[in-house]
Chains A and B, each alone.
Chain A
Amino acid sequence: MAIKESDIVEVKEPELSFWEKIYLPSVIMGLMLTFKHIFRKKRTLQYPEKRREEVAVPDGGLRGKNYRGLHRLNKDDQGRVECVACFMCATACPANCIDIVGDEAPWPDREKYPVSFVIDELKCIYCGMCEYACPVDAIELTPVYNTTGLSRDEMMFDKEKLLEQYDKTIDIKPRKNPLIVGYSCDYKEQAVEHREKVEEFEREL
């Protein structure tokens, strides 16, 4: 796309005024500003005694709804892992820290499920791309920020741990979207349907 003449904005360095060139008045103004801050209300939260969840958002509280912390794997209404092992999240992940092994699903309503699903929480940069990518809202980031471990292995979160995380956090962070049901492996039916739609569209043309 060509850049239009009207889109070009010339940014000029702001001119220093006379008093700014003298320098001293601006220094004094800066000093007054910082001096005022000495007596301001302090924004510090004394962490272990007071937590970000406990205070209001304008005072530095935590936005639980969109905070990007530890992951969880959502369960569907029958308590099964919701993930369909489509590898979308692993592909989207910029840190390459999701490792999935998929297999044929033992349940009739879907084709695949993850046999193992491991996220390396130490490699993860908590960007939330996996959450964006997931077509069935199976993976979500929770507001849990204080995950620790004594070894690297402990920070490799496998499927069990991630599902456990769902039970732990479902109360403080409900699912973002309603549960997706009714997806099926009747892809032939769907394909036929789609084909029909396309043909109809072409006919109209």
Chain B
Amino acid sequence: MDWVDLVIILAKILGIIGVVKLTVPFMILAERKVSGWIQDRIGPNRAGPKGIIQPFADGLKLFFKEDYTPDGVDKILFPLAPCIAMLMAIIAMAVIPFSGQVQVGERVFDMQVGAVNIGILYILAIGSLAVYGVVIGGWASNSKYSFLGGLRAAAQMISYEVPLALTVISMIVLCGTLRLEVIVNQQIESGWWNVFSQPLTFIIFLTCLFAETNRAPFDLAECEQELVCGFHTEYSSMKFAMFFLGEYAHIIVASCLAVVLFFGGWHVPGLPTGIDQPLSLGMALLGIGIFYIKVWAFIFFFLWVRWTLPRFRYDQLMRMAWYGMVPVGLGLLMINAGIAYFENPMMDSKLRWYQLGGNVAMLLVLLAIVAIGEIRVAKNNARLEEYARGMKTQN
């Protein structure tokens, strides 16, 4: 490794941080705009044309606010928590492949900061670390609302990490690799985005992503109606902004992961893919653009869901994870592991159809279970009614 490599890596790191930091303000603007549109309003439109500099104005305002540290907080952990929340979100971006390999002159390099062997594992690990930001924030604030928020976040994360991991393991087993760029390449080569062969897995994965990123309808950790603001109740000024930034950066990471695992990364049919030979710089940038657009589509979906679905009750949340998603995830894992018995299940079109069949079968089993439960409940109700009628006639 010579100095040019070093410069390239540094450039990539700075590029990613820059893009994330620039995307977050626009996400916040988009959030407010989309919420406005969905509620038949216009949304912010005073600061700059169409309100474009509104998030920057908000940032400036937060920056100039008093940075207040309440009495009785943990002096070390209190400032640390927002840093963790922010940091974990951004370093998770390190293994995301944004585009295929690029050739500039003699040099060939990847469009990701670290093309490590443990790609997905790294993201899962960092993702679970991110909850520490929330939990520590709740603990260090020394306030009961914050504490409850942190507690909820911890329980929720633990519950939803299980089905998330199950779906990711499904994909790992099928792809036979942990490297994200290889997963994308398999999707490109076979021409099947994973979402087409694994729709049910994707739905479960997506639901868990919502829970992992603490987004509505799973934003129990900060539900305003019950907990004031949850874990960031006591935070103000830039510390609060860091939490905010971290939360949105987390959504970006989640969207990236979903795009890589299920939506073919930078792939659109008909463009050079960078598998047989490295891409030119322009093509790579185009790939990054496509990736970015797909990520934005996901971000929009996140916003859209947030302003559509009401928040879950806490027991519903837990029941959905442990009674619903974990068994389904396990079932899917079993089916997919069975398919992975064959050679190279992602490249073979026939095996892709099998995967789809497996998913549909799982869905049918699910429907059947619910239907059977329904019938039993109906029978039970009928019996109860009969009993009640008997009581009445006796009287």
Contact = CB atoms under 8 A, between A and B. Distances in A.
B277 interface: no
Given A18-B370, A18-B374, A42 B41 contact: yes
B297 interface: no
Interface stretch (A27-35, A97-105, A142-150, A196-204): A27-35
Contacts of A22: 366-367, 370
Contacts of A24: 203
Contacts of B367: 22
Contacts of B308: 27, 30-31, 33-34
A38 B34 contact: yes
Given A27-B309, A31-B304, A31-B305, A37 B40 contact: yes
A38 B42 contact: no
B40 A34 contact: no
Contact of B38 (A21, A34, A43): A34
Contacts of A34: 38, 304, 307-308
Contacts of A50: none
A44 B203 contact: no
Nearest to A18: B374
Instruction: Bin the interface of chain B by size.
Output: 10 to 19
Contacts of A27: 308-309
B10 interface: no
A35 B304 contact: yes
Given A30-B309, A34-B307, A34-B308, A18 B371 contact: yes
A34 B34 CA distance: 10
Interface residues of A, number: 19
Given A27-B309, A34-B308, A42 B42 contact: yes
Nearest to A37: B38
B39 interface: yes
Contacts of B36: 42, 44
A176 interface: no
B353 interface: no
Contacts of B203: 24
A24 B305 CA distance: 13
Interface string A38-53: 1111111010000000
Nearest to A26: B309
B41 A43 contact: yes
Given A27-B309, A31-B305, A43 B374 contact: no
A9 B81 CA distance: 53
Interface string B362-379: 000011001100100000
A110 B379 CA distance: 78
A81 B371 CA distance: 75
A10 to B, nearest CB: 13
A111 B37 CA distance: 59
B371 A37 contact: no
Given A21-B370, A21-B374, A30-B309, A37 B39 contact: yes
Contacts of A31: 304-305, 308
B303 to A, nearest CB: 10
A38 B37 contact: yes
Interface string B175-215: 00000000000000000000000000001000000000000
Interface string B23-60: 00000000000101111111000000000000000000
Contacts of A44: 36, 40-42
A42 B40 contact: yes
Contacts of A40: 40
A44 B46 CA distance: 13
A204 to B, nearest CB: 53
Contacts of A18: 370-371, 374
Contacts of A21: 370, 374
A24 B308 CA distance: 13
Nearest to B41: A44
A22 B371 CA distance: 9
A17 B309 CA distance: 19
Interface string B301-313: 0001101110000
Contacts of A30: 308-309
A40 B309 CA distance: 19
Contacts of B307: 34
B271 to A, nearest CB: 29
A42 B34 CA distance: 12
Contacts of B37: 37-39, 42
B374 A38 contact: no
Given A21-B370, A34-B304, A41 B40 contact: yes
Contacts of A46: 42
A53 B304 CA distance: 34
A30 B307 CA distance: 10
A35 B309 CA distance: 12
Contacts of B42: 42, 44, 46
B367 to A, nearest CB: 7
Given A37-B38, A39-B37, A42-B36, 5 more contacts: A35-B304, A42-B40, A43-B41, A44-B40, A44-B42
Interface of B: 34, 36-42, 203, 304-305, 307-309, 366-367, 370-371, 374
9 contacts: A27-B309, A30-B308, A34-B38, A34-B307, A37-B40, A42-B36, A42-B42, A44-B36, A44-B40
The 7 closest A-B pairs by CB, nearest first: A38-B37, A34-B308, A44-B42, A34-B38, A43-B40, A30-B308, A44-B41
